[in-house]
A and B are shown apart, each in its own frame.
Chain A
Amino acid sequence: MHVTRRLFLTATAATLATPALLRHGLAQSAPIRVGSLTPLSGGGGPYGPEKAKAHKVVVDLVNANGGVLGRQIELIADNSETNPEVAVRAARKMIDADRVCAILGTWASSVTLAIMPLCQEANVVQIFTGSSDYLPNGDKKHLCYNLQPLNSAWAVALADLAVKRGFREVAFAGPKNDFASSMGESFSKSLNKAGGKIIGEPFYYNTNQVSYRAEAERLMAMKAPAVFIAGYVTDFTPIYRELIRGGYTGKIFTLSFAVGPDFKKAVGNAADGILHGSPVPPVGKDTYDAYLRLVGAKPNGQVQYPYGCAAYDEMNLLLLGIEASKSTDGPKIAEAIMKMANGPGESVSTFAEGAKAIAAGKGINYDGASSSVEFLPNGMLKSRDFALYEVQKGEDVPILTTTSVVE
């Protein structure tokens, strides 16, 4: 065949236009893509898998029942490695190659903050669990929702407990990271309000050390009657050992995830007397039990999958947001999520219930597995259950469960 210039131009134009035409035709039935960026390794490694699984079960369930807006949901899952540099590249792929409308499941505040500029630029919704008080600052377009209370909320409960137990002077120590430094500031403020004060300066140490003897020595030299150590299990365990060996007799306050089963196995009876607290799922509540059964666990009155239940809410909220806004456009979804989370409307706890109410033209108020899911205007969680425990004979004995509310 003789290729004339005209034929060549026509053919080229048609070839180049094909993807655009196809895209237009397919857009109505193509799957809706959602990013799940969880810490499957690194510092968040213990919690990432339960989050990834929760996202998947919700999506599978919704797809089996016909999807959202008549379209299937395609889950794009990746590992953030709890590392902001890796997370940025993974998020780039999700945003630019897969064209996701939302990225859910980031855990470390540093990761959430690192991908925030990308998401803001591309109008991608972010729903995550994080505690750094700086999280709301970068969200200029109101695309972010957090299912974990910020540090300030945790600090109030622990400071109240300290004062109630007669410890008005408490030293503070924590690893040098974003989470602990904003915890230090918040705890100091809360303790002042409750009538106590921090001894000396908040003490920050570097993690991944071979020995924490120097840190323990310094804490003991402060001669504080009590010390609050906002560490993770990997650094809290060796510091606690050094404190006990060094003969420290004061009270120790910490966060529940630092004194899990691994810690108790490592120190045995020496763990007795530690006071600790953290946000907890509403144990015994029907929505939480429903989540547990969905992922194949048995409700047993204990806290299980503390982050998985939040991930379950992340996905439900997003899918309901898409259904209610009839759109995959980030800002529209985000606006719908705020309305559904805070109500007013019919209380729903799954996508199926919510979709039914939306179809009937009713307003809805989402009630989640991790909390009742009410947001402040900046997208941060308004309140969540917070439980305080004391370790007695190697077991966590609940002292009280409060609902922390941020004004």
Chain B
Amino acid sequence: MDAYFVAILTIAGIYVILALALNLQFGLTGLINFGVVGFFGVGAYASAIATETLHLPFIGGLGVALLAGAVAGALISLLSLRLSGDFLAIVTLGFAETIRLVFNNEDWLTGGPRGFLISTRPVMQGLGRGEAAWAILGVILLAALVAFVILQRLAVTPYGRALRAIREDDLVPATLGKNVFLYRLQSFVIGSMFMAAAGSLYAHYVQTITPENFTTPVAILVWMSVVVGGAGNMVGTLVGALVVVTLYEGSRFLAPWLSFLDPEQVSALRFIIIGSVLILTIRFRPNGLLPEASRVPPAPAVPLTHPKG
């Protein structure tokens, strides 16, 4: 059982990083990125190619993944110059699908549908099965912590306020002399880099990646995490990701109590439960479990002297 918790916590750590990155893009800046899984995949494959084909160490793979994520993020941003609303949503969705087809068809580079076998691990060689699992969990939790600290810092600084202002109404910060496009570009690129880093960690954890690992359902789980947790709130997103992974994995343990149902029905019931939780959250906590703290501007000071008249 311990080993199972270690495995699930590891997966949860990866989802936390993805959700935090999406929270920077969507929660703070209001950029709708439906292509989360595309950047995740770019990072995974970039890291795999760097370590297996080019024989770099794991840290080199992670570096290449960050770079690839940044380049992909920048290209997508420049493609949809205004980076706003529906355009970006469609472009990112298209990007995720295109990149999956590239993984699937460029066999010489990615191994195609057969998948990519990765032997480089993010921990030292020679550990036993149990120790290696714990060590990888440590690496991934550390990465999640780093992501949380950086993104939380970004969120509470004046920089984060500028991003929020752009989300609410880009005309206001533009009037104040902020370069709205540059802010959006930075936010999108930083988010994409974290997603790619998550991809790298994931690839070296599971050790076999196929194009089918990077399909839209993964992006939906990440979106669910942000929406359930509370868009705009980093702590909320962190909680959201943990809740979603717990529900998704925890519902597997219902099976013994549902032996009167077919395995097929049990499996369908799990998705019904997960969907219902999402609907209930949106119904009763429309801003998520931990909504973004809204700043109420202080009441204007009472005038010292009453105007005459």
Binding site for B on A (CB under 8 A): 36, 38, 40-41, 48-49, 52-53, 56, 76-79, 81, 83-85, 88-90, 92-93, 95-97, 110, 113-114, 117, 121-122, 132, 134, 176-178, 181, 204, 206
Contact of B252 among A49, A83, A90, A121 (CB under 8 A): A90
Contact B210 A92 (CB under 8 A): no
**B215, A83: Cβ atoms closer than 8 Å:** yes
Contact indicator B104/A78 (Cβ below 8 Å)? no
* B263→A84 contact, CB < 8 A: no
Per the bound structure, the CA–CA distance linking A88 and B208 in Å amounts to 10
Residues B113 and A36 in contact, CB atoms below 8 Å apart: no
* Top-7 shortest CB links A-B: A96-B4, A79-B267, A77-B263, A96-B3, A97-B4, A85-B213, A92-B7
> Is A89 a contact partner of B212 (Cβ separation < 8 A)?
no
Q: Nearest chain A CB to B198's CB is how many angstroms away?
A: 13
CB pair B218–A92 under 8 Å, yes or no, is no
21 A-B pairs in the complex with CB atoms less than 8 angstroms apart = A41-B267, A56-B263, A76-B255, A77-B263, A79-B267, A83-B217, A93-B4, A96-B1, A97-B253, A113-B115, A113-B208, A113-B210, A114-B206, A114-B208, A117-B207, A177-B104, A178-B113, A178-B114, A204-B105, A206-B104, A206-B105
Q: Which of B105, B129, B253 contacts A176 (CB 8 A)?
A: B105
Q: Which residues of B contact A (CB under 8 A)?
A: 1-4, 6-8, 11, 101, 104-105, 107, 112-115, 129, 206-208, 210, 212-213, 215, 217-218, 249, 252-253, 255, 262-264, 266-268
Q: Are B267 and A110 in contact (CB under 8 A)?
A: no
Asked whether, in the complex, the Cβ of A78 is within 8 Å of the Cβ of B263, the reply is: yes
> In the assembled complex, which residues on chain A have CB atoms less than 8 Å from the CB atom of B215?
83
CB-CB under 8 A from A92, the residues of chain B are 4, 7-8
Residues of A within 8 A of B115 (CB): 84, 110, 113-114, 178
Considering the chains assembled together, what is the distance between the CA atoms of A53 and B104 in angstroms? 33
Q: How far is the CA of A92 from the CA of B4 in the complex (A)?
A: 6
Min CB gap A376→B, angstroms: 21
- Do A85 and B105 contact each other (CB < 8 Å), given the known contacts A78-B252, A92-B8, A96-B3? no
Chain B residues positioned under 8 Å from A41 (CB to CB): 267-268
Contact between B113 and A78 (Cβ–Cβ < 8 Å)?
no
Q: Which of A77, A85, A89 has the most CB of B within 10 A?
A: A85
Chain A residues lying within 8 Å of B2, measured Cβ to Cβ, are 96
Contacts between the two chains (Cβ within 8 Å), count? 99
Inter-subunit contact B11/A89 (CB<8 Å): yes
Contact call B210/A84, Cβ cutoff below 8 A: yes
- With A and B bound together, what is the CA distance between A110 and B112 in angstroms? 11
Interchain CA distance A182-B19 in the complex, whole Å: 37
Cβ-defined partner of B213 (8 Å) among A38, A84, A121:
A84
Partner of B210 from A90, A114, A204 at Cβ < 8 Å: A114
Q: How far is the CB of B244 from chain A (nearest CB, A)?
A: 13
Q: For residue B305, give the distance in angstroms from its CB to the closest CB of chain A.
A: 69
B105–A79 contact, CB under 8 A? no
Instruction: A36-B263, A85-B218 are known; give 11 further A-B pairs, CB within 8 A.
Output: A40-B263, A48-B264, A49-B262, A52-B262, A77-B255, A79-B263, A81-B267, A84-B213, A89-B11, A93-B252, A178-B112
Residues of A within 8 Å of B105, CB to CB, are 176, 204, 206
A77 to B261, CA, bound (A): 11
Query: Looking across the interface, which residue of chain B has its beta carbon closest to that of A207?
Result: B104
State A92–B8 Cα separation when bound (angstroms): 8
A97 cross-chain contacts in B, Cβ below 8 A: 1, 4, 253
With a cutoff of 8 Å between Cβ atoms, the chain A residues found around residue B210 in the complex are 84, 110, 113-114
A79 touches B212 (CB 8 A): no
**In the complex, are the beta carbons of B262 and A53 less than 8 A apart?**
yes
For B212, give its contact among A53, A77, A83 (CB under 8 Å): A83
For B8, what are the chain A residues with a Cβ–Cβ distance below 8 Å? 89, 92
Q: How far apart are A296's CB and chain B's nearest CB, in angstroms? A: 13
When chains A and B are docked, how far (Å) is the Cα of A176 from the Cα of B104?
A: 7
Question: Which B residue sits closest to A48, measured CB to CB?
Answer: B264
Residues from chain A with a CB closer than 8 A to the CB of B129 are 121-122
